[in-house]
Amino acid sequence: MSEVIATLILLTVALLLSVVFVYYTITEKDLLKAAVFSAGQSICYAILLHAMAAPDIAMTYLAVSVGLYSALLVFVISKTERYEA
């Protein structure tokens, strides 16, 4: 029973933290920082998927949304301006 409660607390914290990260990603004017916040949101989702016993999805999600997606964003930002006017 205590295991279930611990999982629920982990789920709640990760979910709420992801909302915070999403809000900061959207409102941040420095695009590089926004990319880092977006990666933080992805880490929260990976924790969620792992807590809900889906390690396959968590692994794919980590590789794609924390690794590839963030790297892609940094490459694209390097081709344009770093700060949103």
Calpha distance 8→56 (Å, rounded)? 20
Q: Which is nearer to other proteins, 6 or 59 (CB)?
A: 59
Q: How far is the CB of 74 from other proteins (least distance, A)?
A: 8
Print the binding letters for residues 3-22 with other proteins: x by CB under 8 A, - otherwise: ------------xx--xx--
Instruction: Please answer whether residues 66 and 43 qualify as being in contact, where contact means their C-beta atoms are separated by less than 8 angstroms.
Output: yes
Return the residue of 23, 30, 52, 82 that touches other proteins, per CB under 8 A.
23
How many chain residues are in contact with other proteins, going by CB under 8 A?
Answer: 21
Return the residue of 1, 5, 79, 81 that touches other proteins, per CB under 8 A.
79
Instruction: State the SS3 of the chain.
Output: CHHHHHHHHHHHHHHHHHHHHHHHHHHCCEHHHHHHHHHHHHHHHHHHHHHCCCHHHHHHHHHHHHHHHHHHHHHHHHCCCCECC
Which chain residues interact with other proteins by CB under 8 A? 15-16, 19-20, 23, 27, 55-56, 58-60, 62-64, 67-68, 71-72, 75-76, 79
